[in-house]
C-alpha cells in the first residue's frame, strides 16, 4: 500500500451493469455501477475520481468518514453498547468473581489429586465457561454498531443504495442516513453478521487450538468477512470466500491491514483500557464508581474500535471495483440477476 496500486484494471462490462441487488436484508442495495461511479447531468456515466491506493490515503479517508459521522456513531454506542456494558458490569461481573474463580481452578488443578477433586475442578471449569459464554454473547450485540460504521463507509463510497434511490443518482447527492435509518439498516444486518462472525471466530479459534499457524492464516484470510456481509449482501462461507479473494488479489494491503488492525485495535487498545480499569480499582474507588468508570471505558473502547473498523472498511471499498467482476463470474451470489 506504500506505492500506487492498480485499482482500475477491470472490464466495464463486468462492473458497470447497473444491477440493483439486495443487500444486508434491509431494503438497501449494493450499487455496483463501477463502485464509486458517478453520473453527469445528462445521465451519462463519468469515470469516478478514486482515492490514491496508499496507506496514508486510506487512513485519512477512513478517519474523515469517522469524524463526519461521529454523532451517529455516538448515538449507536449509547443505544447498543452502553446498555450491554451496564448489564455486563453491574449484573454479570458484580455477581461473579472471575479472577478469584480462575485462581481457584488453577490451585485445584495443580494440587495433588484427592478424593472428589476431579468433580470440583469440573464444576469450577463449567462456571468459567458459562461466564465467558454469557460475556461473549453480550459483547456480540455490539456488532450492530460495527454494521452501522461499515454502512456509513459503504454509503460514502457508493456501494450501498437506500430504497427509492435511482441508479443514475449522482453519488454526491446521496446523503448519509439519519440515526433511525442507520440503526434500522444495522439491526437488520445483525443476524447475518452475527452468524458470519461466529463462523469466522470459531474457525480462527479452532485454528489456534490445533496449531498456532492455521489460526494466524485464518485470521488473515477472514479479516474482510464483516465488510462482505454489509457491502455484498453475502454471509457465512460466501462472505469468507469474498474475504479470501480480497487477500489473494491484494496481498500486501491485506497483510498491512491485518497486522495494523490486530496490533492496534485488538491488542494495544484492549491493554490500555484494561490498565485504566485496573487503575480505578487500585485507587480504592467504591464498587459503583469503579463500575461506572468501567462502563465509560468500554464505550470509549468501542468508539475507538469503530474508527479502525471504518479505516479497514475504506480499504475494502477501494478493493471492490476490481473484485466485483470476479465475484460475479464465480457464481457466489447463487445466480441471482
Between 166 and 287, whose confidence is greater?
Answer: 287
If you average pLDDT over residues 177-205, what whole number do you get?
91
Specify the pLDDT at position 266. Answer: 77
Q: What span, in angstroms and rounded, lies between the C-alpha atoms of 115 and 39? A: 78
Specify the pLDDT at position 12. Answer: 33
Specify the pLDDT at position 148. Answer: 94
Between 95 and 26, whose confidence is greater?
Answer: 95
Cα 165 to chain centroid distance, Å, stands at 26
Q: What span, in angstroms and rounded, lies between the C-alpha atoms of 258 and 220? A: 6
Residue with cell 491506493: 53
Between 234 and 122, whose confidence is greater?
Answer: 234
Specify the pLDDT at position 52. Answer: 56
Q: What span, in angstroms and rounded, lies between the C-alpha atoms of 96 and 100? A: 9
- Is the pLDDT at 7 greater than 70? The verdict is no
Please state which of the ranges 45-59, 76-90, 304-318 shows the lowest mean pLDDT: 45-59
- Is the pLDDT at 276 greater than 50? The verdict is yes
- Is the pLDDT at 238 greater than 50? The verdict is yes
Specify the pLDDT at position 174. Answer: 61
Please state which of the ranges 27-31, 286-290, 306-310, 332-336 shows the lowest mean pLDDT: 27-31
- Is the pLDDT at 9 greater than 60? The verdict is no
Between 120 and 297, whose confidence is greater?
Answer: 297
Specify the pLDDT at position 30. Answer: 40
Segment holding 323, helix H or strand E = helix 287-330
3-state secondary structure of 69: coil
| pTM metric for this prediction | 0.78
Q: What span, in angstroms and rounded, lies between the C-alpha atoms of 227 and 233? A: 9
CA-wise closest residue to 66 among 257, 264, 260, 308? 308
Between 320 and 11, whose confidence is greater?
Answer: 320
Residue 229 has a CB neighbour count (10 Å cut-off) of 30
What's the grid cell of residue 100? 478469584
Specify the pLDDT at position 330. Answer: 80
3-state secondary structure of 161: strand
Residue 170's pLDDT band (cuts 50, 70, 90)? low
Task: Give percent of the chain with pLDDT exceeding 70.
Answer: 77
Q: What span, in angstroms and rounded, lies between the C-alpha atoms of 214 and 297? A: 33
Q: CB within 8 A of 9, min separation 6: which ones?
A: 322
Residue 150's pLDDT band (cuts 50, 70, 90)? very high
Residue with cell 457508493: 158
Amino acid at each position: 500500500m506504500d506505492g500506487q496500486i492498480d485499482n482500475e484494471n477491470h472490464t466495464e462490462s463486468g462492473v458497470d451493469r447497473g444491477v440493483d441487488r439486495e443487500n444486508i436484508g434491509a431494503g438497501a442495495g449494493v450499487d455496483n455501477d463501477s463502485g464509486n461511479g458517478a453520473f453527469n447531468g445528462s445521465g451519462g456515466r463519468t469515470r469516478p475520481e478514486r482515492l490514491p491506493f496508499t496507506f496514508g490515503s486510506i487512513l485519512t479517508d477512513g478517519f474523515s468518514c469517522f469524524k463526519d459521522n461521529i454523532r451517529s456513531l455516538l448515538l449507536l454506542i449509547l443505544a447498543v453498547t452502553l446498555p450491554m456494558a451496564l448489564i455486563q458490569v453491574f449484573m454479570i461481573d458484580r455477581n461473579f468473581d472471575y479472577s478469584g474463580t480462575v485462581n481457584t481452578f488453577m490451585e485445584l488443578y495443580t494440587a495433588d489429586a484427592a478424593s472428589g477433586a476431579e468433580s470440583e475442578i469440573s464444576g469450577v471449569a463449567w462456571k468459567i465457561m458459562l461466564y465467558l459464554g454469557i460475556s461473549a454473547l453480550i459483547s456480540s450485540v455490539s456488532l450492530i454498531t460495527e454494521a452501522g460504521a461499515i454502512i456509513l463507509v459503504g454509503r460514502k463510497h457508493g456501494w450501498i443504495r437506500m430504497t427509492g434511490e435511482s441508479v443514475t443518482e449522482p453519488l454526491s447527492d446521496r446523503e448519509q442516513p439519519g440515526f433511525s435509518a442507520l440503526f434500522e439498516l444495522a439491526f437488520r444486518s445483525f443476524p447475518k453478521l452475527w452468524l458470519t462472525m461466529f463462523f469466522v471466530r470459531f474457525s480462527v479459534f479452532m485454528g489456534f487450538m490445533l496449531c498456532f499457524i492455521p489460526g494466524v492464516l485464518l485470521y488473515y484470510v477472514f479479516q474482510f468477512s464483516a465488510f462482505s456481509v454489509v457491502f455484498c449482501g453475502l454471509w457465512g462461507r460466501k462472505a469468507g470466500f469474498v474475504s479470501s479473494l480480497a487477500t489473494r488479489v491484494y496481498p500486501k494491503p491485506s497483510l498491512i491491514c491485518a497486522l495494523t488492525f490486530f496490533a492496534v485495535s485488538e491488542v494495544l487498545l484492549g491493554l490500555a483500557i484494561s490498565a485504566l480499569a485496573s487503575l480505578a480499582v487500585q485507587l480504592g474507588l467504591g464498587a459503583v464508581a469503579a463500575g461506572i468508570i468501567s462502563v465509560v471505558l468500554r464505550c470509549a473502547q468501542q468508539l475507538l474500535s469503530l474508527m479502525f473498523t471504518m479505516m479497514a472498511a475504506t480499504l475494502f471499498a477501494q478493493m471492490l471495483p476490481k473484485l466485483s467482476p470476479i465475484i460475479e463470474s464465480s457464481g457466489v451470489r447463487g445466480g441471482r440477476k
